[in-house]
Amino acid sequence: MGYKIEKATEIADNIFEFWINAPHITKNARAGQFVVIRINDSGERIPLTISETDGSLVRIVFMAVGKTTTYLSTLKSGDEIRDIAGPLGHPSEMGNFGNCVVIGGGVGIACLPILARELKAAGNNVTGIIGARNESLLLLKDELATHCDELVVCTDDGSYGFHGFPADILKKKLSDGEKIDCVWIIGPGIMMKITSMATIPYKVKTYVSLNPIMVDGTGMCGSCRVTIGGETKFACVDGPEFDAHLVDWDELMSRQRTYTAQEKESLKLFQDHQCSCGGDHHD
């Protein structure tokens, strides 16, 4: 038995949105949680954050960068994946905090709609700040705008919205005296590190969703270990959200690069195999 992909769309440059029929996920899914998927019996397990749910459908959004995500991007509506496990991890801290800011960078933007929706439902004023390298990599901005009281869009090259980074917007809001009670940041490691530093002088509670290398998603393999406030934690069972001001960012980013060479080799072998098979690789 597999899980049917009801809708598969490329929503930005090399970024894909899948709606998968998985009622066992959507029954209990909350903002901040993730799933682990496996395309077929011989495939590797990869973690993907829950972007949104709709009835029995769960949305995942991913960029095709390695072998498995590249393979996944070749699947179409009506195809099936072998496994989808979850929801995993702790949900986002939720409550009526007051003025909340949710910040997304790159594919991390996809994690914000369900978070912004839940924060709004809890009675918060929600500001969204999203950023990407250029306009072609922006995603879900119209949908996110429906869940936010304010949405600010940035691009590194100035091709759309504010010319700069989400950290610049957050710094300005804080320096202008805007009252901010809680911040969530989701994106590349370096982006989360730099952006979270902006809230330190103001002592604003800041959460980040960490994305270390992960294998089983149950805390048994130890590959997703991170250091939080000097203590070892496992992102899959203790997170994936943590206090941004306690994260050992240098260790996190160093560990993320552990298998870079092997990942490149695996992707090349997959692409070579696709070419030799005429691009059809569904076994």
Annotated binding site for [2Fe-2S] cluster: 221, 224, 236
| Alpha-carbon span 132 to 219, nearest angstrom | 32
| Strands ordered across the beta sheet of 241-243 | 162-163, 150-155, 125-132, 99-105, 182-186, 205-209, 241-243
Token readout for 157 is 């090259």
Question: Hey, what amino acid is at 232?
Answer: T
Give yes or no for a contact between 7 and 75, defined as CB atoms under 8 angstroms apart: no
DSSP state of 180: -
User: Bridge-partner residues for 131, per DSSP?
Assistant: 105, 154
| Alpha-carbon span 268 to 274, nearest angstrom | 10
| Alpha-carbon span 15 to 177, nearest angstrom | 36
Which residues fall in the annotated binding site?
A: 221, 224, 236
Find the helix or strand (DSSP H, E) in which 174 lies. helix 166-175
Give yes or no for a contact between 130 and 141, defined as CB atoms under 8 angstroms apart: yes
Give yes or no for a contact between 6 and 77, defined as CB atoms under 8 angstroms apart: yes
**Helix pair 249-256, 189-197: axis angle to 10 deg:** 170
Largest Cα span, the chain: 60
DSSP string, 36-87: EEESSTTPPPEEEE--EEETTEEEEEEE--SHHHHHHHT--TT-EESEEEEE
